[in-house]
Structure 1
Amino acid sequence: MRHQRRIGEPAFHCPRRKKPLAGLLEEREPAARERVEGLREAADRVLAELAEAETARTGR
């Protein structure tokens, strides 16, 4: 049986969760932003190494 939303209840609320989904997402957002920043830094390092290797290979 599906849970029917009560009047005034947020559409994203799940009755089995202790916190609304928006609250869980807000808690996880800072950690996700840190992971994304770390991945960007790693990608920048890889691109810099690739550019350096290309320069060494072509001699320019």
Structure 2
Amino acid sequence: MNFLINFNIAQWRAWAPGLESVDDWQAWSRQPVILPTNDAAPDVSFLPAMQRRRL
């Protein structure tokens, strides 16, 4: 049996220090560089605690 799964991505989100907008991500994708490391973290307070831990 072969199954075919189709899906569409309606919206995407990503986070990295210094890349805040879609334009930032598109510019980075054209000329990717290693981003500086730091202890910054996205605000995920809108997620339930259990989901935050799993993500």
TM-score by length of 1: 0.19
Higher RCO (C-alpha 8 Å, min separation 6): 2
Please tell me whether Structure 1 or Structure 2 has the larger radius of gyration of its CA atoms. 1
More helix, by proportion:
1
